[in-house]
Amino acid sequence: MSTRLTADAVVIGGGFYGACLALLLRRLYPRVLLAEKEDDLLQRASYINQARVHAGFHYPRNLVTAYRSLVNFPRFVADFRHAIMRDFTKVYAVARLNSKVNAHRFHEMFRRMKAPIKPAPAHLASLFNPELVERAFLVREYAFDASVLKGILRRRLEAEGVELLMRTRIHAVRSGAGDGLVLDGARGNERYEIHAKHVFNCTYSLINVLLHASGLPLLPLKHEITEMALVRPPEPLRNLGVTVMDGPFFSTMPFPALGLHSLSHVRYTPHKGWIDEVPPVDGHELLRAAPPASKALHMINDAARYLPVLGGVRQEGSLFEVKTVLLASEDSDSRPILFRRDYGGLKGFHVAMGGKIDNIYDLLETIADLNDDFGDRKRLHDIVAGLLGGGSGA
Contact residues for ligand FAD, defined by CB under 6 A: 12-18, 35-38, 43-46, 49-52, 54, 169-170, 202-204, 206, 210, 226, 228, 321, 323, 353-358
Q: Sort 304 into a burial class: Cβ within 10 Å, 0-12 / 13-18 / 19+.
A: middle
Choose between 23 and 135: whose C-beta lies nearer to ligand FAD.
23
Q: Which residues make beta-bridge pairs with 261?
A: 231, 254
Choose between 92 and 135: whose C-beta lies nearer to ligand FAD.
92
Choose between 36 and 302: whose C-beta lies nearer to ligand FAD.
36
Choose between 198 and 323: whose C-beta lies nearer to ligand FAD.
323
**Minimum CB separation from ligand FAD for residue 353, in Å?**
5
Backbone phi and psi for residue 70, each to the nearest 5 degrees, phi listed first: -60, -40
Choose between 134 and 299: whose C-beta lies nearer to ligand FAD.
299
**Minimum CB separation from ligand FAD for residue 19, in Å?**
7
Q: CA-based diameter of the chain, in Å?
A: 69
**Minimum CB separation from ligand FAD for residue 310, in Å?**
19
Choose between 199 and 384: whose C-beta lies nearer to ligand FAD.
199
**Minimum CB separation from ligand FAD for residue 179, in Å?**
23
Q: What distance, in Å, lies between the first and last C-alpha atoms of the chain? A: 39
**Minimum CB separation from ligand FAD for residue 343, in Å?**
15
**Minimum CB separation from ligand FAD for residue 91, in Å?**
16
**Minimum CB separation from ligand FAD for residue 102, in Å?**
24
Choose between 38 and 160: whose C-beta lies nearer to ligand FAD.
38
Measured from each CB, the residue nearest to ligand FAD is: 15
Backbone phi and psi for residue 5, each to the nearest 5 degrees, phi listed first: -125, 150
Choose between 36 and 145: whose C-beta lies nearer to ligand FAD.
36
Q: Which residues make beta-bridge pairs with 245?
A: 94
Residues contacting residue 22 through CB under 8 Å, at least 6 positions apart: 11, 32, 34, 157, 162
Pairing of strands 250-255, 240-245: antiparallel
Residue 313 DSSP code: P
**Minimum CB separation from ligand FAD for residue 18, in Å?**
5
Half-sphere exposure of 313 (CA within 13 A, CB side): 33
Q: Respond yes or no on whether the N-terminal peptide bond of residue 376 is cis (omega within 30° of 0).
A: no
- The rounded distance, in Å, linking the Cα atoms of 249 and 44 is 25
